[in-house]
Copies of this chain bind each other. A is one copy, B any other.
């Protein structure tokens, strides 16, 4: 894929482009023209900085560029880390026209985006995601935030980026396990919104795992299109956007029980998607198709060894709980998700107990 493709997230005056291509980092794309002010702070981490920090600095030629390098990992997705970014903005005298550039995976984007949301009540930020998960999910849609000891992503803001720059070349250096974790979210888009895309993924899963660039480009494009459309309909998750959380109620419960950092987020979501399919009014053969695709992608299809009661308790503080009533995103068919508070409790307990056996 030599062409640069652009998708627009349509949000009125907060609309922004997602630019997808290869060879974009470095001198391949003039990111500076998309920066309103003069000062840029690149927020990255110790793993990503050696790979791309110089390149992205080159994309910002003509701007005053500083950078802050965070420790790598979900464990550092805390308010304290956000504070360190804010401290840096203050000490560098950044004003309202400053722009934060998030260079890295989902954790970096969530932290940097929340810092941008809070500094002087909101400054611009640009997402330069370097993992598949961030490229197809977290860099698009404006959800930013950090974890609280009591739950994941409990502290945050909706703050849309001004620009998302996706260079597919960055996936070459992504560890296998993280690539697969990103595929979990790609599969999710097919499952919740596009049966044709789901079938395409079944046919192309091997090409994706072996990192065929053109196939990855198509998968990322379609994932971003679906996410952009859903976010455009319901920016602040008042309704329809909740279907993007398919598999996440179970997935977050798994992560919480593990104390985070055992399974990757995408792995927990993968198992969670199979569990949610089992709770859905879905034909057995479609549950099997989802399970098979997830399995072929090298992702877990059932929860780890956790007691059902622990998983159930871990769902208690989930953000998808309204009026303390659990609501689930389920599938009516492949490509068609819905949100409901009606579900078979007995079946739920049986599904939650899968890891006990």
Closest B residue to A83 by CB, please name it: B79
Q: Would you call A118 and B155 a contact (CB within 8 A)? A: yes
A interface, how many residues as a size bin? Answer: 35 or more
A23 within 8 A of B: no
Stretch of A42-50, A177-185, A289-297, A316-324 at the chain-chain interface: A316-324
Give A232-276 interface residues, CB cut-off 8 Å to B.
236
Give the complex CA separation of A91 and B316 in angstroms.
Answer: 12
Most buried by B among A117, A118, A156, A316: A118
- Other-chain residue from B79, B91, B145, B148 in contact with A90 (beta carbon distance below 8 A): B148
Give the complex CA separation of A154 and B82 in angstroms.
Answer: 13
Chain B residues in 8 Å Cβ range of A156: 118, 120-121
- Other-chain residue from B97, B148, B236 in contact with A322 (beta carbon distance below 8 A): B97
Q: Would you call B148 and A86 a contact (CB within 8 A)? A: yes
Q: Would you call B95 and A157 a contact (CB within 8 A)? A: no
Q: Would you call B121 and A157 a contact (CB within 8 A)? A: yes
Q: Would you call A96 and B38 a contact (CB within 8 A)? A: no
Most buried by B among A145, A155, A158, A322: A155
Give the complex CA separation of A317 and B156 in angstroms.
Answer: 25
Chain B residues in 8 Å Cβ range of A150: 87, 90-91
A90-B151, A121-B156, A154-B90 known; A95 and B323 CB under 8 Å? yes
A150-B90, A158-B121, A317-B93 known; A38 and B79 CB under 8 Å? no
Beyond A93-B316, A95-B324, 13 additional pairs, beta carbon < 8 A: A38-B323, A79-B83, A90-B154, A95-B321, A96-B322, A118-B118, A120-B156, A121-B145, A121-B153, A121-B156, A121-B157, A121-B158, A122-B157
Give A residues with C-beta under 8 Å from B. Answer: 37-38, 79, 83, 86-87, 90-91, 93, 95-97, 117-122, 143-145, 148-151, 153-158, 236, 316-317, 319, 321-324
